[in-house]
Amino acid sequence: MNPGTNLTVFDRDAFNYLGITATDLGAESVKNAEDNDGWPKKLDSFVGKKFFFKVWIKISEWNVFTSLTVQKMTDDPTILDKYSVHRHPQV
């Protein structure tokens, strides 16, 4: 993504992977502000993981930002393999 792209993951999807709502994540982040460098530690669980996203794209004519809204997301290895551009040919 370029610096002018925003990826929005809704609470229900984030909750499925983090086990915490956005509201609780925000409260936890504020409570532990001195320990998290402005980044909630629970978000680190996304680092190094692969996901497949179905997105809705909105391109604005009045600013440089592109908005990608996640409609569905999965880390199912079968789906990741099926749609990966780097997958190995099946013989």
Segment 38-67, tens digit of pLDDT: 677 788 888 888 888 888 887 767 667 777
Check if the beta carbon of residue 58 is closer than 8 Å to that of residue 67.
yes
Structural domain contains residue 63: yes
Q: Is the pLDDT of residue 19 over 60?
A: yes
Mean predicted lDDT score pLDDT of the chain: 77
pLDDT of residue 76: 92
Does some domain include residue 88?
no
Residues in the chain: 91
Q: Is residue 89 part of a domain?
A: no
Whether 62 is in a domain gets the answer yes
- Are the C-beta atoms of 15 and 45 separated by less than 8 Å? no
Question: The whole model's pTM is what?
Answer: 0.61
Calpha distance 24→62 (Å, rounded): 33
Structural domain count, the chain: 1
pLDDT at 88 over 60: no
pLDDT reported for residue 28: 80
Both structure tokens of 66: 């592109």
Per-residue model confidence (pLDDT) at position 4: 62
